[in-house]
Amino acid sequence: MEYRNLGHSDLKLPVITFGAWAAGGWMWGGTERTEAIKAIQASYEVGVTAIDTAPVYGQGESEEITGEAIKGLPRDKVQILTKFGLRWNLSKGEFYFKSKDNSGKDIDIYKYAAKESIIQECEDSLRRLGTDYIDLYQIHWPDSTTPIHETMGAVEQLIKAGKIRYAGVCNYNAAQLEEAEKSLKLVSNQVPYSMVKRDIETEVVPYCLKHNKGILAYSPLQRGLLTGKMKPGYTFNEGDHRSATYFFTDENIKRTNAFLDKIKPLADEKNATLGQLVLRWTIEQPGITIALAGARNAKQAVENAKAASIQLSKDEVELINAHLKSLELIKA
């Protein structure tokens, strides 16, 4: 496994980090707890020592699964990344969207990052994770109802108390990063990034490169689209959020697979799957520190981890980019 420091910190993370959103089941059509635990443990065995989770993933279930999976492992050999600021049990802040929990019950999700909420969320996360500190604590989404300096002040208080080691953000634009930096030194920004979603290259990547901030790329496989395993007519389980997004229309699946067919010879040459090749391409991009890859079982987890061992030359990256220029998805 290859490891990289996150920003200016001494927090060294595997380039393929386990993303535990799907493990919590929420918005992914449910979860099988035992398989999710095995997936995290299998990842650890092949060098994926970091897990990225969040309270809202399964309304606590993903964090509980993470805590159970790492129980008995040396704590200083595991990096726990979690988040705050999305509340499903508190009607405060900025309304985000309506959803259903894993039992099918209607819930409202709010963006809320006021001081007292953050302090409480941290305690709840520590309890669910079964640990006394969090390696990287990240605001999940910007909250327009709370001043950034109040949010960052609360995180700084948690750092001083030894509850968290480092602070990061998620889904922040360059201006928000700059504002947050006035109150607290950040190490990272977690943002969506894939071959078919590259808008962060305009402002966020240049800002992070200039100011030495790590970038954690989430959904690098575009939630399964870039694995080549999806075919037109694919049917999602009930409650799977992907069924409502434009990436997964039959036409876009068809266009994506046509692109993947062009780069498959390179994957074959590397004795790699398309998904592994796409993950390796992701972490070769300027400014991208690590890629988050989710898995529902141990086989998927180990397959994702193998992407770290693939070697791509500059010419091979440029070859992929040349084919990528012809891929255009329909957004409407």
Domain ranges in the chain are 3-225+274-311
CB atoms closer than 10 angstroms to residue 127: 13
3 state DSSP class of 217: strand
Strand partners, 51: 18, 80
Q: Which residue has the tokens 């060294």?
A: 12
**Residue from 24, 23, 75, 30 nearest 50 by CA:** 75
Predicted confidence at residue 332, as pLDDT, reads: 66
- In Å, how far are 18, 24, 69, 137 from 57, measured between CA atoms? 14, 5, 16, 15
Number of helices and strands (H, E) in the chain?
Answer: 10, 13
Contacts of 189 (CB under 8 A, 6+ apart): 168, 169, 170, 172, 177, 204, 208, 213, 214, 215, 216
- In Å, how far are 40, 292, 302 from 47, measured between CA atoms? 11, 14, 10
- Burial per residue of 245-263, b for 16 or more beta-carbon CB atoms within 10 angstroms, e otherwise: eebbeeebbebbbebbeeb
Q: Model pTM greater than 0.85?
A: yes
Residues of the chain under the 50 pLDDT cut:
26-29
**Active-site annotation holds for 57:** yes
Q: Which stretch of DSSP H or E encloses residue 264?
A: helix 250-269
Predicted confidence at residue 26, as pLDDT, reads: 46
Q: How far is CA 187 from the centre of its chain?
A: 15
First to last CA, the chain: 40
Per annotation, catalytic residue among 3, 44, 57, 172: 57
Q: Residue 56 and residue 88: Cα distance in Å, rounded?
A: 7
Length of the chain in residues, anyone?
A: 332
User: Class of the 3-225+274-311 domain?
Assistant: alpha beta
Output the furthest CA–CA distance in the chain (Å, rounded): 54
3 state DSSP class of 6: coil
93-117: pLDDT as tens digits: 999 988 887 778 889 999 999 999 9
Handedness of CA 291, 304, 165, 149 (dihedral sign): positive
